[in-house]
Amino acid sequence: MSTKEPTPVSKKIIKPDPPPAPLPIHSVSEHTPGPWIIDRFKGQPPYLIANETDVICLFGHHPRIKNEEVEANARLIAVAPDLRKLADLGWKLSTWAAAINWGMDETNTKEWLDGLRERINIYQAAHKAAIDKAEEQK
Which range among 2-6, 28-32, 87-91 has the greatest average pLDDT?
A: 87-91
User: What's the pLDDT score for residue 12?
Assistant: 59
Task: Express each pLDDT in 82-98 by its tens digit.
Answer: 888 888 888 888 887 77
Task: Express each pLDDT in 49-69 by its tens digit.
Answer: 888 888 888 877 778 888 788
Residue 33's identity, in one-letter code, is P
User: What's the pLDDT score for residue 127?
Assistant: 86
Which residues does 84 contact at the CB level (< 8 Å), separation at least 6? 31
pLDDT, mean of residues 92-118: 75
CB count within 10 Å of CB 78 equals: 24
pTM > 0.75: no
What DSSP string describes 57-111?
Answer: EEE--BTTB-HHHHHHHHHHHHTHHHHHHHHHHHHHHHHHHTT--TT-STTS-HH
Residues 53-56: contacts with CB within 8 Å, 24+ apart?
56/32
User: What's the pLDDT score for residue 84?
Assistant: 85
CB-based contact 101:107 (threshold 8 Å) = yes
User: What's the pLDDT score for residue 15?
Assistant: 58
pLDDT, mean of residues 114-128: 86
Residue 26 has pLDDT above 80, yes or no: no
In angstroms, rounded to a whole number, what is the distance separating the alpha carbons of residues 69 and 10?
Answer: 63
pLDDT band for position 9 (cuts 50, 70, 90): low
Domain ranges of the chain: 29-78, 80-138
Residue 103 has pLDDT above 80, yes or no: no
Angstrom CA distances, 109 to 95, 98, 106, 126, stand at 17, 15, 6, 26
